[in-house]
Amino acid sequence: MSLTGFYILCRWLHFCALMSLVGAGVYPVLLAPKGYRDSLTRRLMPLMKVSVWLTLFSAVMLLAAQTGQMGDGWRDTLQSEVWLAVLQTQFGYAWQWQLALAVSGCLALLLRGHQRQQTLLLCGVMQLAGLAFTGHAAMLDGWGGVFQRTNQMVHLLSAAFWAGGLLPMIFLMLAGRNPACRYDAISTMMRFSRYGHLAVILVLVSGAVNALLLLGWPPVTFRLYSQLLVLKTLLVGIMMGIALFNRYWLVPRFQRSGALAQQQFINSTLVEIGLAALVLLVVAVFAILEPS
């Protein structure tokens, strides 16, 4: 595999892990009824453990890949002096925080109770926000830079709430088949759906603002970056269509169609998760391209 391909893969894995961590962490901390938090935490903890360790692994691998790209290729990924030089760059300063927060997230697994969930979610949120200080999101200076980074934070966090919350939604759908926790599971899903509308709107608005900041007006070029941006927009549009189909077509049919409508909901949500993974792959490729 080429170093560029390795960098893209690590960046994609880092985005996936962080969004899964934040998406899963939101449920027991902010969405679930108090009496249902412990039960939901036990169900989601395997996903959160995998996500937090993948976050640390991908953060280290991304630093290695970036070191090789700034140096002379693969051989420099193992050179300590090159690592130290990279850590003194703008990317390096931002990535030191990524590594520190990733380690903190892993250490948070040693905690117990609600404090563990809160710490895991906080570490994930801060890492996502920190990504706004790397790559194209850090192109502008002054107040323009502050606005660009803030907008990117909103984009990443709202996307994590939406896309990262899809797999836990399936867990809740399955849990809702148990009469003992059906009410709490449905209540949690409805809260996710309610705030998910806002998250989708924020994803669309902040994404459009980011495109204007990077490409100018009119935001039309024939470069690969713009072509991939169109592809990303189409994929997000399909995801939004699936989400609307689930919420306003399938959910009202749960009582009438029962298990069939629920299984259709799960299947379409799995498709939505696959599309989200493709969107993040496109985002990972953006890092190696010039917007204009």
69-79 pLDDT, tens digit per residue, is: 776 777 767 77
- Token pair 């706004």 is found at 132
Q: What is the pLDDT of residue 292?
A: 64
Q: How many CA atoms lie within 13 A of 234 on its CB side?
A: 7
What rounded mean pLDDT belongs to the chain? 89
pLDDT tens, position by position, 140-153: 778 888 999 999 99
Q: Tell me, what's the pLDDT at 113?
A: 86
Q: Give the best-scoring range by mean pLDDT among 41-50, 78-87, 220-229, 280-289.
A: 41-50
> Which domains are seen in the chain, by residue range?
3-287 (1.20.1630)
**pTM to 2 decimal places:** 0.93
Q: 62-76, 96-110, 169-183, 269-283: which has the minimum mean pLDDT?
A: 62-76
Residue 225 has pLDDT above 80, yes or no: yes
Spatial distance between the Cα atoms of 63 and 236, rounded to a whole number of angstroms: 29
What band does 288 get if pLDDT is binned at 50, 70 and 90? Answer: confident
Residue type, 97: W
Asked if the model's pLDDT at residue 261 lies above 90, the reply is no
Range 43-47, long-range pairs (CB < 8 A, 24+ positions): 43/171, 43/175, 44/168, 44/171, 47/20, 47/167, 47/168
